[in-house]
Amino acid sequence: MKAAFDGTIIRVGKDGRQLYEQSGYGRPEADGLRLSPQEALYLLHRQKIEVDGYNFDTLFAEFADQRNFMRSFLVYRDLRERGYVVQTGPHDFRVFRRGEKPGTGESLYLVRVLSERDPIHFGKLIEEVVASRNMRKQYVLAVVDDEEELTYYEIKLQKLADACNEVPLISSHDAMLTGKSAMVRVPANSDLEHGGYGKRLDPERLLLSPVELLYLMSRKHIVLMKGNEAVSPEAFLALASETDRELNGKHAVYTELRDHKFTPRTGYKFGHHFRVYCGISVHSDLLVHAVEKEATLPMSLISRSVRMAHSVKKKMLFGAVHTSGIQFVEFARIKL
């Protein structure tokens, strides 16, 4: 099948309409078909079309200077080889359900193509996921690494349901400021420990971390004392933030988790802010990391996070902190 390239657009004559009607390639135009660069190269490689004056190598060289073209073509080819019909837009690609194509079915995925070193801007990501959800599509990141290998991630915006178990009620306690944390004199198996708070120092004393302390103070369960003077939550937050610049965000995410009856504990050994339990479950269900909504993280870091969470059978959530609340963003590897 003959195609012509005018330096900008590749077109096929009216006999090319069968490519669209049978397999969803291109966009109908007048009596013919207009192909995207990715479609044209794939069809040329599969020997479905011939382009006057070009072979695969020379046509690839024509497009290779376009920003991010290589990774875009690799993703397009991979999706086509997996049996999907793929068209450009509204992100990078929209991907139809297997066996469906334009005019006879609906697209299932909206795909954004990235490299392993690209940054993830959480504000923009959330906007794109919301737009995909409004169109009833699944939002997918297709990440191409330095060896041209592909990994697909499904991104979901999660709303926390209340945890599966009730946490015990907590009575009021006095605590003594000790550095940037606090110490409470309570016997073993106290209500605080049953509620998932603190680390036992000895049979009479329990240590509370800054995020635990801030939450308990905000709920009037702890009165923090420095000598004979009470310390306000605001004063303690300012004090503890001197050595932990992430504390504000961690406090906001911790509070959201606690208010939904989850039990967050430190996730340091997993490289994240919190490991999160459902009530009094023995094993944690989630890994959660607090970020500002306008924060940017490299995709390589997120990839390591997802891999870690998967290896320990947990979901990986990032809690994006904004003035209007917390938006939890789940990253999960998928096989298309």
Q: How far apart are the first and last CA of the chain?
A: 30
DSSP letters spanning 37-89? HHHHHHHHHTTS-EETTB-HHHHHHHHTTSTTHHHHHHHHHHHHHTT--EEE-
Phi and psi, residue 52, nearest 5°: -55, 125
Q: Is the dihedral of CA 98, 158, 318, 163 positive or negative?
A: negative
Interatomic CA distance for residues 142 and 119, integer angstroms: 13
223, 238 Cβ separation under 8 angstroms: no
- Known catalytic residues are 277, 283, 314
For residue 285, give Cα distances in angstroms to 32, 95, 334: 54, 31, 19
H or E segment and range at residue 258: helix 247-259
